[in-house]
Every structure is written in structure tokens, then in C-alpha cells.
Amino acid sequence: MSARGGGRADTAGVGRATWAALRARRAAVARLAGWSAVEALPALLSGALVARAVDGGFLAGRLGTGLGWLAALGAAVLVGAVATGRTYRSLGAVVEPFRDDLAARVVRAALHDATRPGGRPDSAAAARLTHQVELVRDTFAGLLMVTRGFLFAAGAALIGLLALDPVVAALVGAPLVVGLVVFLAALPAMAGQQRRYVRAGEELGRAASTALAGHRDVRACGAAGRVVADVGARVADQAAAERTLARMSAVRSLSLGLGGWLPLAVLLLAAPWLVDRGLTAGAVLGALVYVSTGLQPALHALVQGVGGGGLRYVVTLDRILRACPDEAGGTPVGRPDAAPVPPDGEPPAVCARRLTFRYGVAARPVLDDAGVTLAAGEHLAVVGPSGAGKSTLAALLSGLLAPQAGSVRLGGVPVADAPPEALARLRALVPQEAYVFTGSLADNLRYLRPDADDATVAAALDALGAGPLAARLGGLAGEVEPAALSAGERQLIAAVRAYLSPAPLVLLDEATCHLDPAAEARVEEAFARRPGTLVVIAHRISSAVRARRVLVLDGARPVVGTHEELLARSATYRELVGHWDDRPAAARS
């Protein structure tokens, strides 16, 4: 596809998104249009009232009558001013929900990319959320204001001119239409140049930052000339794009001259002829008022607003739409309420076969041809030295990572085919760095089970020993501030949340490492009593002692067995026990 064709497609996408936003808020748009019509009352009456004041008042020697017509115009201006305030309220009802929809779209896309199998966080999402969304909101509001202002103000002025004299309206309308046609015809090229300018600035920033970051290597390699030439070329590209944009501004000036100033010149030149054919001096003056206070300012605002903020709106919204496609937004792959159905019978709770995973194409595999099968209700602890792949295994079992080879099934459901909403109903993962958000304690605990009643939540808090923490926070209605909590308190809240989850599988990935041994034992024992299957990535040997089976990862073939069996069979496990032995004396005897 050519660059020009791509530009048209981008503009079409922005147009569809804008039209959808307006259509979704038809009532607010209708209120905005209604108040805009009232706001245009001075533009509709100004010329006619000035004509009456001149012809029937001042030229006729009736000063009071002339002042009375001007007072009526002043009253219309006051009414218009009141309507202007109302238009801004209506504008907010259109613009703010659009901004909220875009922000939600950016967040959904960022979460989709970060949580899909093999996905990674997008560092640019923060810039889109804090800068680009706000820029779209501001420019969208400006576009609405200048567009509806032109439509109603220019429309009111043309109606007033028609009421004065249709010939005058034709004399004024013809150059106005020409000026608009020139401006609208140049808009696609202006949008393309705006995109070119933005891309040139980004390329210059990347080239300059790379050169500055590696300036020592550049000098050591004697590549200064080449690097300077490369950055200079980017500077020249940006300068050329900026000069082109400046030349494009001449098109705006041309359209303003044709549509705004030419009608005034035409009226002045045609004034003698118009008077000869019976137009009064007041009517001529009223026509000049319509053009100078109605048409000309409205056209100027439209051309400057669309030619400036409008182009930024198109370019920025296009970047958001491209970075946050619909499939990452409100339309997940697969129905969110339709989890894959496992095959008939009683499949294992976890069935992972021939798993191979490496962080990088040429990297040594963290897991190589590994597998594990767990029946429903089993309690497995995973141990091994640092870097053996324990957390990687947890991420593979939970679907957060996709293996290069092998497969994972939870309850007979292939993890690779399950959308995130379905996986959330199959397993609950509590990582080492617990996620706690600002809000009430009840909202944090019910996040995975919104229908849990207070009694159920209280029982979970008591089972995991989190009752004192809940009481200190003020009960379920108490406010949670993540920064005010210790790492262990955040882990405890996340553990209760997972305990309440309806998911049949819970994976604790060093999820209690910030708790003391007694608190950790209470949490793990509570999960062991909970119906379902439990996998614990252990950081204390006591977690392995409490488990029914232990999986040892040591870089070779994984070994599975009970604590006693592994003491006899696995040198790695015996070494870990000797290094890790933090059990009470009674447990060691």
C-alpha cells in the first residue's frame, strides 16, 4: 500500500471512531446543538437589528428608536452569552466519556499485551494514557467547538443575509464557498505533512539519544563523522517537514482571504449598485455586520482550529487506534463467559508434558522436556536452587508464559487455547510481589469472587490468620493504601483473595516469603484444607515437608517424590534440606 493510500485509511479509521463517539452520546450532542442554536441568536439578529436602527432610527432622526433596536441587540448578546456557558456543560458530556473510553482502551490493550502468553509490558502505554489521550480530549473538544460554532454562526449570518436581500446573500456566499472548498481540498495533504513532521521528530529523537548514549564508543571507533551525518540527516528531514508545514499554512491564509475578506470587498464594491437597485444604507451596513461579526470570525476559527488542533487530533488518535486495536479492547478473543469445555471423565487437575522454555533463541533452556501431572486435590511443593526454573514453571502452568515446546492442560482444558477470562476461572496465581490496589479491603478480597458474602470473606480472613490485619484496617469497609502496607501484609491480602477464588487450582509462587514461618504455615495449611489442587513454589523447606509430594528442579531431569523419598534419592534435595532446614525440632525428629 502506498503512503498516500495508508493516510486515507488512517483518516477513515479516525472518522469512524469519532462518528461512533458522537453517535453513542446522541442526547448530549443534541443538547450541545440546541444551546449552540441559542448562542447563535446574536449572529442571526445582528445585521437585521443594525439595519433597523440605522434606517428607522438614526437616519430618520429618531434617536430613541435607534437606541431601542441596539438595546434589543444587546439583549440578544446576553442571551447568547448565557447559552455559551451551557454549551460548555454539554461539551463536557460528549468529550469526557470519549476520553474515558480511550483511556480504558489503552489500559485494556496494555493489560492484554502484558498478560497474554509470551507477552511483555508496553512501556509506551503510560505516554499514551497520560499524554496522547489528553491531547485527543483537548483537540476533540476544540474541534467540536469550532465546527458547531461555524455551522451555527455562519448559518445564522447567511439566513440573516437572505432576509435582508437574496442577492447580497449570493454575493457573500459565493466566495465563502470557494474559500471552504480550497481549505477542505488541502486537508488530506496537510494531515499527511503533519504525520511526516511527527515521524521526523521521533526519528531525530531516537538518533540523537542513541548517539549521545554511545558517544564514547563513537569516538573510540572513529565514527563521529558518520554519526554526525546520520543525526544531521534526521535534523534536515525534520526541518524540511517543518518548512512544508509552514508553506501549508499559506493555504489556510488563502482560504481565509477568499472566504472571509473577499466577501467584504465584494460588498463594498457592489454597494453603489445595491443602493441603486433599492437596498437601503442600513441594509448595506447590516450586511457588512453579518460578514464582519458572523461569517468572518466563524470561518477564521474553523480554519485555524481544524488546520491546527484538527490535524493533531487525527494524527494522535490514529496512533492510539493503531497501538490499541479493537481485539485488545472490548472484544476479547472468544466469549468471556464461555470457557473451553474439558473432555468427558475426570482429567488430571494439571497435566504438563514435555515442557521446554528458554528466555531467548540462543539461551540455555530453563526447562527442558519437563513434565508434571497432578490429580485433583493434590498438594505439590516445587523446590530447587535459584535459577532452576521454579517461577518459570509456575508461569507456564498458569498460562502467563507459552512454552517453546510441550503443552499444559488444566482440568483437561488446553491453556494455550483458553482466553484470559477462562484461565482466571481455572487457576489463581499469587506471585511473590502481591498486587493490592487502592480501595476498600472488601474490594481487594472480592476481586476474584464478587459474589462472596461478608460471612464467607470473614471465614477466609480467619482461616489464613488475616483477621488482625483486617481489624487494623477498619474491617471490610476500611480503605487500603498499598504504600502504607508492608510486603507481608500485601501478600496476606493477596492470599485471602486467592483463597476466596472459585478456581480449582492455586499456585503460590513464593507468595509467603515475606511472612514469618508461623504465618506462612497457617496460610499453606489453610490452602491445603481448601478444596482443590495446590502448587507451592517453596522458599523454606517447611513448605516441602507439609506437601504430599515434592518436585525437585536442579537443571537435570526433574525428580518427584515425598520428602522422605527425596532425601534418599536426590542429592540436590538433601543439599537444599541441609541449607534450608528451618523446621522446628519436633518436625525434624
Confidence tier at 6 by pLDDT (50, 70, 90): very low
> CA dihedral in degrees (435, 441, 445, 450; nearest 10)?
-120
DSSP strand pairing (533-537 vs 379-383): parallel
User: Taking CA 355 as the corner, what is the angle to CA 353 and CA 361, rounded to the nearest 5 degrees?
Assistant: 160
User: Which amino acid appears at position 256 of this protein?
Assistant: L
Closest listed residue to residue 50, CA positions, set 68, 64, 37: 68
Q: What is the mean pLDDT of residues 117-146?
A: 71
E strand or H helix at 561? strand 559-561
HEC readout, 368-434: EEEEEEECCCCEEEEECCCCCCHHHHHHHHHCCCCCCEEEEEECCEEHHHCCHHHHHHHEEEECCCC
Q: What is the mean pLDDT of residues 514-518?
A: 86
- Residue 551 predicted with pLDDT over 80: yes
Whether the CB-CB separation of 563 and 550 falls below 8 Å is answered with: yes
CB within 8 Å of 522: residues ≥ 6 apart = 464, 465
Provide, rounded to the nearest whole percent, the portion of the chain with pLDDT above 70. Answer: 86
Q: What is the mean pLDDT of residues 379-387?
A: 84
Closest listed residue to residue 124, CA positions, set 106, 140, 112, 137: 106
Q: What is the mean pLDDT of residues 135-140?
A: 84
DSSP character for 365? P
- Residue 334 predicted with pLDDT over 50: no
pLDDT of residue 122: 54
E-only strand ranges, 286-387: 350-357, 367-374, 379-383
CA–CA dist 524, 522 (Å, integer): 6
CA–CA dist 528, 535 (Å, integer): 10
Q: For the segment 184-242, what is each residue's pLDDT rounded down to a tens digit?
A: 787 777 777 777 776 777 677 777 767 776 666 656 666 677 778 888 888 888 888 77
Count CB-CB contacts under 10 A for residue 131: 11
User: Which amino acid appears at position 147 of this protein?
Assistant: T
- Residue 116 predicted with pLDDT over 80: no
pLDDT of residue 202: 64
Mean residue pLDDT of the chain comes to 79
CA–CA dist 69, 422 (Å, integer): 72
pLDDT of residue 393: 87
pLDDT of residue 4: 35
pLDDT of residue 463: 92
- In a 13 Å sphere around the CA of 85, the CA atoms on its Cβ side amount to 5
- Residue 81 predicted with pLDDT over 80: yes
Q: For the segment 452-483, what is each residue's pLDDT rounded down to a tens digit?
A: 899 999 999 999 999 999 999 999 898 888 88
CA–CA dist 541, 516 (Å, integer): 13
The pTM assigned to this predicted structure is 0.53
Confidence tier at 326 by pLDDT (50, 70, 90): low
465: alpha, beta or left, given left = phi > 0 and alpha = psi -120 to 50?
A: left
Whether the CB-CB separation of 519 and 512 falls below 8 Å is answered with: yes
Whether the CB-CB separation of 410 and 398 falls below 8 Å is answered with: no
> CA dihedral in degrees (127, 130, 132, 134; nearest 10)?
-170
Q: What is the mean pLDDT of residues 120-142?
A: 71
Q: What is the mean pLDDT of residues 386-410?
A: 85
pLDDT of residue 538: 82
pLDDT of residue 471: 92
pLDDT of residue 462: 92
DSSP strand pairing (405-410 vs 379-383): unpaired
DSSP character for 482? G
More confident residue, 151 or 311: 151
Q: Which of 287-301, 319-333, 409-423, 525-539 has the lowest mean pLDDT?
A: 319-333
pLDDT of residue 333: 29
Whether the CB-CB separation of 507 and 322 falls below 8 Å is answered with: no
CA–CA dist 48, 283 (Å, integer): 7
Whether the CB-CB separation of 169 and 161 falls below 8 Å is answered with: yes
pLDDT of residue 120: 52
What 3-state class would DSSP assign to 447?
A: coil
